[in-house]
Amino acid sequence: MYGQGESAGISYEVVEGVVRTCFFDCSGGRQVTGFYYNGDVFGLEAHAYAESAEAVTDVRVRTWRNLPESGAESACEITWLLRRAMAQARQRVILLGRKTALQRVSAFILSLPTVNADGTRRSLPMPRTDIADFLGLTMHTVSRVFSGLTRQGIISPINRSYVVIKDIGKLDEISGIYTLMDSDDAFSFPRFE
Amino acid sequence: MYGQGESAGISYEVVEGVVRTCFFDCSGGRQVTGFYYNGDVFGLEAHAYAESAEAVTDVRVRTWRNLPESGAESACEITWLLRRAMAQARQRVILLGRKTALQRVSAFILSLPTVNADGTRRSLPMPRTDIADFLGLTMHTVSRVFSGLTRQGIISPINRSYVVIKDIGKLDEISGIYTLMDSDDAFSFPRFE
DNA sequence: CGCACTCTTGAGGGAGCTCAACATTTGTGG
DNA sequence: CCACAAATGTTGAGCTCCCTCAAGAGTGCG
């Protein structure tokens, strides 16, 4: 979609499908910095894209021409989006700085988009390597944690692309993300409220 | 200065001294999310502060009454600040997701404010525990890495509050922030491919 | 069926944490 | 200025969690 370092200016909103943004370091290592689902906006950089954006599945996106020429109203909207992005980034810093593999994967599962009404079934459209690079783990560890949670009856994978959460309470507890506050801009990690 | 969860609306600019922002999780764990030096602005949250802000040294700050009533011009400025904060957060995600203790501490030293003209002497106003909680490490590991770098003659601590960088080239080679794909050095890191 | 790719699982090793002791600096009162 | 205590920092030993390496199982597609 776009590559790290290219000149920016256009943001995107996901209409359908899933997009990931990645940062590649000099040694070829990859850090997935975000997954974007229906309605999410990415590519808010002002001058040069700091990350690459890639399609995880087939996607349709809507382009947003951002500032600077757009009016104050849109500036306000961009500010709002940036605050949301900021809040998510903060969450990620805490996740990566203070959480174990088990907690990370649990939190990640809870952040997945729901497929059915009661939110027990989640879509898992990205490969394990993407999840690993997103959580700062290896594919192996992610796989092991999935297996562990399954063995304990907390989740139940349907196939590669779907999971059923059997015990969301326990998952919440494990993830250790109790939000002390309800603020809209503070934490929107559980993306669907 | 302000506490996590309090209602927001005022941002601050550091005029003198050093401020840290911290997030406390339910179990009492602490993640330092940022250090702010002269000219840096913090507390950009819209509704509730997501973090606590605390003085590391004696500080003087200037308050910024932020949006929403301020005009388009200030909105633009806030947008700019948010973008900067965003870029920093991205850096931190990569640091925490993909770097070793050695790389983290090296990068941290390089991010410290300079004291003298040639930038070899850096100020280190915060205690080791703050550095540890900032880098997602323990005080012990931070201390060990400092000792290691000192033993190799790369840095040379004056006292608790100041370091001299003896070999800045090696330091940012270690930190892995720059995109150079050379280095058959002892510190080279997990390649890929 | 066979190849490529993704995912799972096991065994071993290493980076960083925990626990613990000690050293150094800072602060306080005599 | 010294004595002592408290806070902060350093260092060592052992252990844990996750990474690495390796093999095997499941899946998709020609």
pLDDT at position B192 is: 25
H or E segment and range at residue A82: helix A72-98
Could you tell me which residues are beta bridge partners of residue B23?
Answer: B31
CA–CA gap between residue B41 and residue B63 (Å, rounded): 9
Q: Are B23 and B31 in contact (CB under 8 A)?
A: yes
H or E segment and range at residue A137: none
Q: What is the pLDDT of residues B47-87, one digit of tens each?
A: 888 889 999 998 998 887 765 555 555 667 778 888 889 99
In 3-state terms, what secondary structure has residue A139? Answer: helix
pLDDT at position B75 is: 62
Buried b / exposed e along A103-114 (16+ C-beta atoms within 10 A): bbbbbbbbbbbe
CA–CA gap between residue B125 and residue B138 (Å, rounded): 18
- The pTM of the full predicted model, rounded to 2 decimals, is 0.85
Which nucleotides along chain D are within 7 A of a protein C-beta?
Answer: 8-13, 17-22, 27-28
Q: What is the pLDDT of residues A71-121, one digit of tens each?
A: 555 667 778 888 889 999 999 999 999 999 999 999 999 999 998 888 899
CA–CA gap between residue A80 and residue A46 (Å, rounded): 15
Nearest one of B130, B147, B146, B148 to B138, comparing CA atoms: B130
Stretch B147-162: mean pLDDT:
93
CA–C1' nearest nucleotide, residue A126 = C6
For residue B193, pLDDT beyond 80: no
Q: What is the pLDDT of residues B124-140, one digit of tens each?
A: 999 999 999 999 999 99
DSSP state at residue B107: H
Give the Cβ contact number of residue A1 at 10 Å. 16
With an 8 Å Cβ cutoff, is A178 touching chain B? yes
In percent, the amount of chain A with pLDDT more than 90 equals: 51
pLDDT at position A108 is: 96
Could you list the protein residues whose CB lies below 7 A from any atom in strand D? A 100-102, 136-138, 140-141, 159-160; B 127-129, 139-140, 142-144, 146-147, 157, 160, 190
CA–CA gap between residue A57 and residue A42 (Å, rounded): 16
Average pLDDT, chain B: 84
Q: Which residue has the tokens 């850090």?
A: A31
pLDDT at position B178 is: 55
- The encoded tokens of residue B106 equal 């090296």
